[in-house]
Amino acid sequence: MGRKARIDHEELVRLAAEGWTNARLAEHFGVTESGVLQAKRAAGLSKPMTDHSRALPWKLRREHSQSGPATNLRNLSAAAQGRRIPKDRLNTALRWANRLVDNGLDIAYDPERGFHEVPAGDDSHVARVLAEAREATDAAGTTP
């Protein structure tokens, strides 16, 4: 059994700054691309993963994960976490959420039916996600 390949963090930082791809770095260091990603995280070179579990608290079936509601909720969630979202995508998500809230509707998810609109209660999921996104974009001065 061979010894575990080691990635020199200083060299990784330098090569990544030069624009080397993960595939090229993996080949250079003799590791997998996953190994490069782990090393980048350890070296502080990766952005932290965006956590969408508040906006998408359901276990989505694969066929529903890229639907309009899922995409809109992810975009609102990313905005709420301070991520830069392309203006057109953020506008689409805001229009969708505002339409629901303005019409007293919320979103629900069922693995068989997918996403569907339901009357909003006092604890509207979409209203909360929208408010969090608006608060973050207003604070950052990025509201479209």
Q: Tens digits of per-residue pLDDT, 31-47?
A: 999 999 889 888 888 77
Average pLDDT score over residue span 73-79: 96
Comparison of pLDDT for 50 and 144, the residue scoring more: 50
Indicate whether 1 pLDDT > 80: no
Q: Is the dihedral of CA 54, 77, 42, 20 positive or negative?
A: positive
pLDDT for the residue 88: 96
Q: What is the pLDDT of residues 85-135, one digit of tens each?
A: 899 999 999 999 999 999 999 999 999 999 999 999 999 999 999 999 999
DSSP lists the bridge partners of residue 107 as 117
Helix (H) or strand (E) holding 73: helix 68-80
Residue 75 CB neighbour total at 10 angstroms: 24
pLDDT for the residue 2: 52
pLDDT for the residue 116: 97
Does the pTM surpass 0.75? The reply is no
